[in-house]
A and B are shown apart, each in its own frame.
Chain A
Amino acid sequence: EPEVTQTPSHQVTQMGQEVILHCVPISNHLYFYWYRQILGQKVEFLVSFYNNEISEKSEIFDDQFSVERPDGSNFTLKIRSTKLEDSAMYFCASSEAGRKNGELFFGEGSRLTVL
């Protein structure tokens, strides 16, 4: 069964460093998403990406964050100058037809720890 894969599964970084989280969505999917879950809190939407551009982003997704689909298979989340409060589980998701008509398939997550 096709699945969304995320790497790394866990990354530890120093405050102020840049981090890139990698995702390989399901190959025929067109919509891509990043969500995050701070420990003990709810899963929060960060950004959606369609047709090579951001289609929607939350207030969390400020200039510190960026997304890219560099090669047609990967979908990355870059966090510049990480802060302690960026520590969270980051989930990538993809969908064939968007949240209305299609199911979102989530990866297993990348845990980011900022020290």
Chain B
Amino acid sequence: AQSVTQPDIHITVSEGASLELRCNYSYGATPYLFWYVQSPGQGLQLLLKYFSGDTLVQGIKGFEAEFKRSQSSFNLRKPSVHWSDAAEYFCALAGTNFGNEKLTFGTGTRLTIIP
């Protein structure tokens, strides 16, 4: 079975501060990993994805994530957050076996930015 855990339900950071959102996964091999963002009233937008290769992946809006196999983690980072980054962030996993099309999502982390 595959699963994703986002330990932090809600995080508050000051504008301009650095950010790290945690994601841990459970899967029998190295999965495909994704971070999505959901702004209020919007659909889910892909920030970045990891399939293979370089374990540090760059995404849109200045976000990056690092895959660490030893820790089964795929944490999302941003060096300096902007007020527009306030949103819900979802980590997701896809299995690598043929025919497995589903994404398994974490419960999400709500990010609040304070001035």
Contacts and interface: CB of A to CB of B under 8 A. Distances in A.
B32 interface: yes
Interface string B81-115: 00000000010101010011111111110000000
Interface residues of B, number: 24
Nearest to A49: B101
Contact of B43 (A100, A103, A106): A106
B41 interface: yes
A109 B45 CA distance: 12
B44 interface: yes
A98 B41 contact: no
A3 to B, nearest CB: 8
Interface residues of A, number: 26
A98 B101 contact: yes
Nearest to A56: B101
B27 interface: no
Interface string B8-38: 0000000000000000000000001000100
B99 A55 contact: yes
Interface of A: 4, 31, 33, 35, 41-45, 48, 50, 55-56, 58, 91, 93, 98-100, 103-109
